[in-house]
Amino acid sequence: MEKRKSNIGVQLDLFAGILHTPEQEKMINDFLARQKQNVLSNELSNQRNEKILVDNGFVYGMDYVNTFKKEIITREVTLGSRWNNTEFKIELTYESVSGDLALKAKRFHQGELTNTTFSISFDNGKAQCSYIQDQYRYIKPSTLLEKLKVYNSRQEYLLEEYKKKNSLKQNIIEKYRELYPNATITTKDDWTKYSGSFEIVEVKFESGSFIQFRLDIYNNKEYLYKKHDAEFEGMNSDELLERFSKQAKKEASN
């Protein structure tokens, strides 16, 4: 039997000689027509949205990227419906699109500042990027650009704060290692309702007593956070009374 040819754009030799019913060929034609329309629609939308960004001060390569492209692909697609026994699979070659507009941003994570991109969506001339805004409301593109710059500055600030804290932490560890070589110096995480999560340096002695320090990166020093006297905790009431009776009276501070 002679192979039939398709007259639809880039569709290849009609399915390796397999004949299809008129209904199936219509499904194929409709699918390819939809794909062609989708490509055109997505291309125009991408061009329109990029113009919105440029008109509002976004600079290509600095504030945003555009990875949109058209390409010819060959894939197996499923057409028809299993519910009325019209479903069938066929390999087709057609034009498709990939990529889109995205904001260029910096991201601080685990001590490193990396370059990344965040997706952006548009609606009626306004734009939205939840990573930058921390909410899903559509806003003026010019406002989004301001938020993008603030976001990137914040990530750079977090990196500098991390460097300062890490440097201070290492200096504190080295200081107490030299002062108390028999002590165990470690870092730990702690949390309070008002401060959230933070890091501490603990100096622990063989007796089980320890002192913990919080880091003050603004004044470049540590300050006492917690202390534990293992010997004191192990005393009974008589031993505590005897110890307290021998303590000298402290002068009241002015």
Helix (H) or strand (E) holding 215: strand 210-216
Residue 73 in domain: yes
Specify whether 68 is located in the same domain as 147: yes
Number of structural domains the chain divides into: 2
- Residue 96 backbone phi and psi in degrees, to 5: -135, 175
CA–CA separation, 166 and 185 (whole Å): 15
Residue 196 in domain: yes
Beta strands 184-192; 196-204: pairing state: antiparallel
Residue 17 pLDDT:
56
Residue 232 pLDDT:
84
CA–CA separation, 36 and 95 (whole Å): 7
Strand partners, 113: 108
Helix (H, G, I), strand (E, B) or coil at 219: coil
Residue 193 pLDDT:
87
Specify whether 63 is located in the same domain as 144: yes
Q: Cβ–Cβ contacts within 10 Å for residue 204, how many? A: 17
Residue 18 pLDDT:
67
Specify whether 138 is located in the same domain as 32: yes
CA–CA separation, 52 and 141 (whole Å): 7
Specify whether 102 is located in the same domain as 26: yes
Q: Which of 155, 172, 199 is the last residue of a domain?
A: 155
> What's 60's DSSP letter?
B
Helix (H) or strand (E) holding 109: strand 101-109
Specify whether 151 is located in the same domain as 185: no
Residues in the chain, pLDDT under 70: 1-18, 249-254
- Supply the range of the domain harboring residue 122: 14-155
> Comparing C-alpha atoms, which of 99, 97, 103 is closest to residue 67?
99
> What's 37's DSSP letter?
H
Specify whether 40 is located in the same domain as 148: yes
Residue 24 in domain: yes
